[in-house]
């Protein structure tokens, strides 16, 4: 009996120490401050496109744009714990880590800078009904000071609801819009965040925290080829500038077919707005795969030659270099996608050129 009592006492202490005995207050994320969307108003607030407003979408477009990649929730709290209670409609098992593809990533401001605070993930090996609405903590045992928080949503899963949870009786209120301006970053899986370890480790995420400017992600994995439906939608985006990772998907043929029409469609509605195109990165699978090297060389040559014409032909169009490779060429995950380190290198390689261009337009 004495052993049983001690065992039960240890269990109670363990539960209390782990914070599992909290009673929570919940607030739907839409009742807080949501940023990071190119199109802020969508029927489902956790998706990135209003499919009723623009047409021409195929199944792949819709599938990818239903994912909340790059969406950020801004809030303030004095709670010792921050948790989430999501309602998933799909939980993806991809080559992004679970904390990125199906998890939540929390940063808290300290001394004027965003410092990583915690994350959580959900199980892709179980069905959605089993995992959804489970409460998961991102951080616990914090002091009682009021904190400014931003939380990144999953890059590749889908949501119908997201409740932020704090200890019952704690403050949980809207945060400020924590970043200046609105810059659209449209691109491939690289901008979507594929192979990142956490949802905040993307190129848009790195650029936003480093510059204080809001880089809104419209990354669509394997689906950024400057198609007309994207050009038509982007022509109506309420943004201050565009940055395009436009030459990572597709082929030399799609580059030749789509580039000039893409530019002209957007500029017809957005005269005077800068369009900054990024040179695609070196894919490490090219190192020994001769076919991959040949195909990538053709596509890159087409992009380089046409962008040379474009920057002369069109006002407010720019073409900048980029790099996601370390000196030892060891920053790849799968030969195509960079690791977190590679993505940070990429963001750093384009940060200063982008900032210099934006300053010409009074975007600081």
Residues 52-95 pLDDT 10s: 999 999 999 999 999 999 999 999 999 999 999 999 999 987 65
Same domain, 188 and 324: yes
Q: Are residues 37 and 131 in the same domain?
A: yes
Q: Is the residue at 55 inside a domain?
A: yes
Domain boundary among 151, 174, 197: 174
For residues 133 and 174, the answer to whether their CB atoms sit within 8 Å is no
- The secondary structure of 79-124 as a DSSP string is -S-EEEEEEEEE----SS-HHHHSEEEEEEEETTEEEEEEEEE--T
Q: Which of 130, 152, 174 is the last residue of a domain?
A: 174
The token duo for 30 is 């839409």
Is the residue at 306 inside a domain?
Answer: yes
Structural domain boundaries enclosing 91: 22-174
Check whether residue 339 and residue 250 sit in a common domain: yes
Q: What is the CATH number of the domain that holds 64?
A: 2.60.120.260
Same domain, 92 and 160: yes
Examine the domain organization and report whether 123 and 187 are in the same domain. no
Mean pLDDT (the chain) is: 93
Q: Is residue 9 part of a domain?
A: no
What CATH number is associated with residue 289?
A: 3.40.50.1110
Q: Are residues 153 and 202 in the same domain?
A: no
φ and ψ at residue 244, rounded to 5 degrees: -120, 125
Q: Do 213 and 356 touch, CB atoms closer than 8 A?
A: no
- pLDDT value of position 6: 39
Q: Mind listing the pLDDT tens digit of every residue in the chain (364 residues)?
A: 444 443 433 433 333 334 457 999 999 999 999 999 999 999 999 999 999 999 999 999 999 999 999 999 999 999 999 999 999 999 987 655 789 999 999 999 999 999 999 999 998 877 788 888 899 999 999 999 999 999 999 999 999 999 999 999 999 999 999 999 999 999 999 999 999 999 999 999 999 999 999 999 999 999 999 999 999 999 999 999 999 999 999 999 999 999 999 999 999 999 999 999 999 999 999 999 999 999 999 999 999 999 999 999 999 999 999 999 999 999 999 999 999 999 999 999 999 999 999 999 999 9
Per DSSP bridges, beta strands 241-244 and 275-278 are parallel
Question: How do residues 207-260 score in pLDDT, each as one tens digit?
Answer: 999 999 999 999 999 999 999 999 999 999 999 999 999 999 999 999 999 999
Could you tell me if residue 198 is inside a domain?
yes
pLDDT for 138: 98
Let me know whether 215 and 299 are in one domain: yes
Query: Which of the listed residues 136, 151, 174 is the one where a domain comes to its end?
Result: 174
Residue 284 lies in a domain: yes
DSSP string over 249-272:
SS-HHHHHHHHHHHHHHHHHHSTT
Number of domains in the chain: 2
Q: Is residue 268 part of a domain?
A: yes
Residues 202 and 160 in one domain: no
Q: What is the pLDDT of residue 9?
A: 39
Mapping DSSP to helix (H, G, I), strand (E, B) and coil, where does residue 66 land?
coil
pTM of the predicted structure, to 2 decimals: 0.92
């Amino acid at each position: 009996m004495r052993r049983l009592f001690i065992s039960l006492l240890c269990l109670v202490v363990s539960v209390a120490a782990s914070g599992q005995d909290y009673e929570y207050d919940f607030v739907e994320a839409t009742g807080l401050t949501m940023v990071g969307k190119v199109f802020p108003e969508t029927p489902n607030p956790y998706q990135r496109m209003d499919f009723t407003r623009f047409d021409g979408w195929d199944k792949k477009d819709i599938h990818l744009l239903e994912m909340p990649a790059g969406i950020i929730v801004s809030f303030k709290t004095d709670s010792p714990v921050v948790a989430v209670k999501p309602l998933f409609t799909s939980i993806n098992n991809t080559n992004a880590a679970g904390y990125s593809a199906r998890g939540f990533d929390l940063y808290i401001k300290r001394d004027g800078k965003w410092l990583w605070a915690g994350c959580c993930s959900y199980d892709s090996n179980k069905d959605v009904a089993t995992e959804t609405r489970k409460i998961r903590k991102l951080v616990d045992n914090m002091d009682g000071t009021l904190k400014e928080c931003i939380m990144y949503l999953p890059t590749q899963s889908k949501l119908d609801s997201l409740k932020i949870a704090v200890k019952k009786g704690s403050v949980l209120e809207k945060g400020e819009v924590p970043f200046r301006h609105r810059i659209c970053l449209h691109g491939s899986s690289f901008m979507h965040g594929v192979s990142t370890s956490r949802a905040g480790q993307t190129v848009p995420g790195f650029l936003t925290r480093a510059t204080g400017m809001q880089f809104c992600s419209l990354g669509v994995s394997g689906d950024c080829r400057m198609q007309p439906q994207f050009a038509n939608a982007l022509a109506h985006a309420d943004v201050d500038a565009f940055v395009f990772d436009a030459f990572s998907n597709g082929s030399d043929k799609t580059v030749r077919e789509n580039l000039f029409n893409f530019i002209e469609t957007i500029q017809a509605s957005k005269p005077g707005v800068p369009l900054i195109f990024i040179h695609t990165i070196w894919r490490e699978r090219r190192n020994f795969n001769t076919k991959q090297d040949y195909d990538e060389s053709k596509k890159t040559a087409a992009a380089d030659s046409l962008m040379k014409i474009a920057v002369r032909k069109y006002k407010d169009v720019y073409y900048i270099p980029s790099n996601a490779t370390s000196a030892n060429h060891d920053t790849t995950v799968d030969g195509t996608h960079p690791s977190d380190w590679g993505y940070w290198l990429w963001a750093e390689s384009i940060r200063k050129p982008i900032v210099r261009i934006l300053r010409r337009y009074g975007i600081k």
